[in-house]
Amino acid sequence: MARLSAAEAVFNVLRTEIESGKLGVGAKLSSEATLAQQYGVSRSVVREALRSCTALGLTVTKTGRGTFVVANRVAKDLVLGQYSARDLTEARPHIEVPAAGLAAERRSAEELSMLREIVAAMSGEDDPEVWVGLDSSFHALIARASRNKVFENVVADIRDALAHQSETLNMVADRQHASDEEHRRILAAIEAGDAATARIAMSQHLHAVGIALDSILNA
């Protein structure tokens, strides 16, 4: 392994802390001076490390206020173009349905309990913005539980794109309770380790969401 410069070392630490979720989105990092003292380096070094994080879209730094985490992974917008609504509704079933099947077979106990928590939290959630965030986590976690990095990455991508689409929020209000029920069915199948049922439940869920989206787009 190549010897790292101090700046690279600090950058790696910060990046790891952000991507691992130890520093959640919205969290405020310590001040540059504090970090410098903490890691035993000068402020220049810390600043260069923070710049690297910012270049990757992980953080934003606001003059006079501090540095804040805005993403826990490198945004693909850096590399890839935006997806259209049609792209998403068309592609999602082909990816999320098999991912749900695999998740039923491969999910860990830990993932299962996280899924349960998410579904429970969504039932009692009124704020659409928060609900959308939970929904995103639900689908992303299923993809991760599929133990297939292709699915995991694509779903993360798709959820990112959805979160940036204004239509998403409009749709949520109507579909929220119906989706809660569909999510519960998906969860039940994954809990039971029943891949076929998980695929069917996910398929129906996406189909229902797709129809809801279509009716908004054509209105």
Where does this chain touch DNA (CB under 7 A) — which range of 42-50, 72-80, 121-129, 140-148? 42-50
**Looking at beta carbons only, is 32 or 182 nearer to DNA?**
32
Residue 67 binding result from a second copy, DNA, none, given CB thresholds of 5 to 8 Å by partner type: DNA
Instruction: List binders of DNA among 48-77 (CB under 7 A).
Output: 48, 61-67
Instruction: List binders of DNA among 1-40 (CB under 7 A).
Output: 5-7, 29, 31-34, 40
**Looking at beta carbons only, is 32 or 157 nearer to DNA?**
32
Check if the beta carbon of residue 173 is closer than 8 Å to that of residue 110. Answer: no
| Distance of closest approach, residue 28 Cβ to DNA, in angstroms | 8
Name residue 66's beta-bridge partners: 62
What stretch of H or E contains 62?
A: strand 59-62
| Distance of closest approach, residue 133 Cβ to DNA, in angstroms | 23
Three-state SS for 88-128 is HHHHHHHHHHHHHHHHHHHCCHHHHHHHHHHHHHHHCCCCH
**Looking at beta carbons only, is 89 or 131 nearer to a second copy?**
89
Task: In whole angstroms, give the CA distance from residue 138 to residue 151.
Answer: 14
Q: How many Cβ atoms from other residues are within 10 Å of residue 199's Cβ?
A: 22
| Distance of closest approach, residue 73 Cβ to DNA, in angstroms | 22
| Distance of closest approach, residue 38 Cβ to DNA, in angstroms | 12
Q: Is 119 exposed, middle or buried (0-12, 13-18, 19+ CB in 10 A)?
A: middle
Angle between helix axes 6-19 and 32-39 (nearest 10 degrees) is 110
| Distance of closest approach, residue 145 Cβ to a second copy, in angstroms | 14
Residue numbers of the site for DNA (CB under 7 A)? 5-7, 29, 31-34, 40-45, 47-48, 61-67
